[in-house]
Amino acid sequence: MKTVSSFKKTALALTFGLATGAATTATAQETYQLTFSTYLPPAYEYFWDPVQHFVEEVEANSDGRIQIDVFHSAQLFDGFEELEAVSRGDVDFTAMTGTYPSGTIRPLSIFTLPFVFDDVDHMQRALNGGLLDLGITQEFMDDHGVKILGVAPWDPYEFYTKDQPLESVEDFAGLTWATTGSTDARAMQVLGGSPTGMGSGDLYLAFDRGVIDGTPRPLLTGIGRSLYEVIDHIALGTFSVDTSILSVNAETWDSLPADLQQVVADAAASRDQMQFELVADFIDESIGRYESLGVSVKALEPAVLDNLRAATQPVIEEWLEEVDNGSAYLDLVEETR
């Protein structure tokens, strides 16, 4: 039985009856008080709204047998800590951003390899084709005791810069880039930049104080962290399409009866679909929003993107050397392009 403080179970006697003068007791049901932690704030709307939807659906469809306390804005753990927190059982649920644990679970960085996915729809086709089943799901479970419940997208990572617009491969060199994982850091390095690992909550001050010159991040990050106040340019190029991985501690999952597991699984699938839809809407709306806030937003020219793909090819080749069946991942990505 799970013993961590976040997981408390209370037996409730539901009904009592009398038959032929003798008292009988119906099987007691248990309730589960669980925790959901995210480093992200509610301002990340297309992430936050599906999380709320997941929690509400679990609580409603379990008839109150599962109650979930939600902690946002890194009240408990930051993005780099979430995998280990759910692995230890310090929290029951989290929706970790894939870049943060990608240094530990190397196949996971398939989503942050530079310029591999065309767009969010391409990523969804690859997921539906079984991309996680090539080893990622099993590694989460075997090495960390974490069950993946679902995967939803971020909008594509684009390039934010404070002073200098990006118009060529050479423009990436000499800049200090805030990165989230080992793969995007390596890509910035091969492009001649200086990467430094940094959570999204630190970006505003880092830009404002001139600590960093740029960062590859989803468009949502700039809205949620008010980066439009401290940056001047966004270059669009679909650098990568990262994931929001809804997961649960394996002991918590195993302690739930089958009917409640189904409730959680159904709510997770609903959350994934909701986030895919919200992301699509957000991408259509966000560019105009940035421009209205005074940020210059320009798409990188096709020839520049071709040069960037060629320049960052060593990152993909290095990844293939690290991941035993890396070619199977890339083959599936190509098959679903």
List, for residues 107-122, the tens digit of each pLDDT value: 998 998 999 999 999 9
* Domain co-membership, 129 together with 276: yes
134, part of any domain = yes
Model pTM score: 0.79
CA distance linking residue 305 with residue 309, whole number of Å:
6
* Domain co-membership, 191 together with 247: no
What average pLDDT does the segment 187-200 reach?
95
**Do the Cβ atoms of 95 and 244 come closer than 8 Å?**
yes
Please count the residues of the chain: 337
* Domain co-membership, 21 together with 147: yes
State which amino acid sits at residue 335.
E
CA distance linking residue 57 with residue 270, whole number of Å:
9
170, part of any domain = yes
* pLDDT number for residue 150: 96
Residue 177's domain comprises: 157-241+289-335
* Domain co-membership, 101 together with 191: no
* Domain co-membership, 146 together with 65: yes
Grade residue 10 by pLDDT with cuts at 50, 70 and 90.
very low
* Domain co-membership, 22 together with 128: yes
Grade residue 2 by pLDDT with cuts at 50, 70 and 90.
very low
Instruction: Please indicate whether residue 332 or residue 7 has the higher confidence score (pLDDT).
Output: 332
In the chain, the number of structural domains is 2
Strands 176-179 and 194-197: parallel
What average pLDDT does the segment 227-253 reach?
96
User: 313-337, pLDDT tens digit by residue?
Assistant: 999 999 999 998 999 999 999 999 9
* Domain co-membership, 172 together with 269: no
User: 133-174, pLDDT tens digit by residue?
Assistant: 999 999 999 999 999 999 999 999 999 999 999 999 999 999
2, part of any domain = no
**In the chain, pLDDT over 70 holds for what percent of residues?**
92
* Domain co-membership, 76 together with 116: yes
What is the average pLDDT value for the chain, to the nearest integer?
A: 90
* Domain co-membership, 107 together with 210: no
Cα–Cα–Cα angle for 228, 219, 222, rounded to 5 degrees: 30
* Domain co-membership, 166 together with 92: no
84, part of any domain = yes
* Domain co-membership, 52 together with 169: no
What average pLDDT does the segment 197-212 reach?
95
User: 38-61, pLDDT tens digit by residue?
Assistant: 999 998 889 999 999 999 999 999
Looking at residue 25, which CATH number applies to its domain?
Answer: 3.40.190.170
Grade residue 25 by pLDDT with cuts at 50, 70 and 90.
very low
* Domain co-membership, 258 together with 323: no
